Amino acid sequence: MVFGSRSGVEVRTALPADTLEIAGLLRQLGLCVEQRQVAERVERVLGDPSGTVLVATAWNGAVSALIALHWNSVLQADRPVAQITALVVDEAERRNGIGRLLIKAASQAARTAGCDQLTIATEQECDDLASFCETLGFTAANRGFVRSLRKRPRSGAT
């Protein structure tokens, strides 16, 4: 499924053929995983109706970024909450709007799944991530960031 495109970048659901490039992106996060492991994990996530893996591809089809998210019901909310469990843009492609495009596509997928919130959990302080999240409308929360998926009423609207 294609979620959108901009400036030659397309966001779509990950495919088995993407696993070598996904493994390379995960290494940029400090995760040492083999292509076989990535293939199994991507297949497992995509086979689960409560999650998805999306990739951004360049005009030549090369995977330049990925986002993985899962949603589930929680006691603290009436509707499911979506959590971003992985987000990485290739170092050479950062600051080109690809992360923003992935967040937009993830938000669309989460809304389709009935979610009202999108969260990003973090293990440590990261000023770049905090700045990125705040720019996109997330607010700081306990060990991460959260953003409502409901549209805000326009100012002056009744």
Task: Give 107-121 pLDDT, tens digit per residue.
Answer: 999 999 999 888 887
Mean pLDDT of 55-71: 91
Residue 89 host element (H or E):
strand 81-89
Residue 20 sits at the vertex; the CA angle it makes with 19 and 24, to the nearest 5 degrees, is 110
Domains and CATH numbers, the chain: 2-148 (3.40.630.30)
**pLDDT tens across 1-38, in order?**
556 556 678 999 999 899 999 999 999 888 888 889 99
Strands laid side by side in the 51-57 sheet: 2-6, 9-13, 51-57, 63-72, 81-89, 117-121, 144-148, 139-141
pLDDT at 77: 84
CA distance 107 to 152: 14
Mean pLDDT of 97-104: 90
